[in-house]
Amino acid sequence: MTRLSEDFDYIIQPGWRNSGPTHWQSHWADKLNAIRVQNDNWETPQLEDWLHGLDRALDQARRPAIVIAHSLGCIATAHYALRHPRRIAGALLVAPADVERAFVPRELMPFAPLPRLPLPFPALVAASDTDPFCQPPRSARLAGYWGCPIRWLPGAGHINVDSGHHQWEDGFALLEAVNRRAALHRQLAA
């Protein structure tokens, strides 16, 4: 694992149906001593409930917080940023779910429309060219809306357990990139 800055706390924002014990987010939560968002309903998510869950997790942070989001959690993080532009220090947005795609599950519709404004903090989108829940052009468009770079993981599916991403140690390099950008952003803002 890349040595990460001790200047930040980490918030794990899972996606739809939560991230189980073998998911990389659970592994990272243990390794990073991260605060995990707790939502009331993972199966039938409601945007307001998820925003409150992220807010409660951020309240537990003792230092500026970097959100590590997956799938629908990326969309929740982007919605949160519109309402609370100064609460998040940075974000790693992994495999964002396209909640506007054709045949999107009914459960995800409350998260549409997608936020289309630049995020007010440094962020990085990690996307796959084989993600069944967000086609490459849509992933690129989301990164463009949010004003953040995108890193492509060829053939990585939805970057979850089903695509073989259990511990995903390689992903820590992406988190370190977010850390560096967030630290620089804080220095320039001071």
Contacts of 151 (CB under 8 A, 6+ apart): 124, 125, 126, 127, 174
Q: What is the pLDDT of residues 17-74, one digit of tens each?
A: 999 999 999 999 999 999 999 999 999 999 999 999 999 999 999 999 999 999 999 9
Q: How many residues does the chain have?
A: 190
DSSP 156: -
Distance in angstroms (rounded) separating the CA atoms of residues 51 and 77: 8
* From 40-44, 160-164, 186-190, the region with the lowest mean pLDDT: 186-190
Residue indicated by tokens 């706390």: 9
pLDDT of residue 57: 98
pLDDT of residue 79: 98
pLDDT of residue 3: 67
Q: What is the pLDDT of residues 98-145, one digit of tens each?
A: 999 999 999 999 999 999 999 999 999 999 999 999 999 999 999 999
Domains detected in the chain: 9-189 (3.40.50.1820)
Retrieve residue 61's tokens. Answer: 């942070």
pLDDT of residue 1: 58
Determine the residue type at 74. Answer: C
Distance in angstroms (rounded) separating the CA atoms of residues 179 and 91: 9
**Among 182, 187, 1, residue whose Cα is nearest residue 92:** 182
Task: Report yes or no on whether pTM surpasses 0.75.
Answer: yes
SS3 label, residue 49? helix
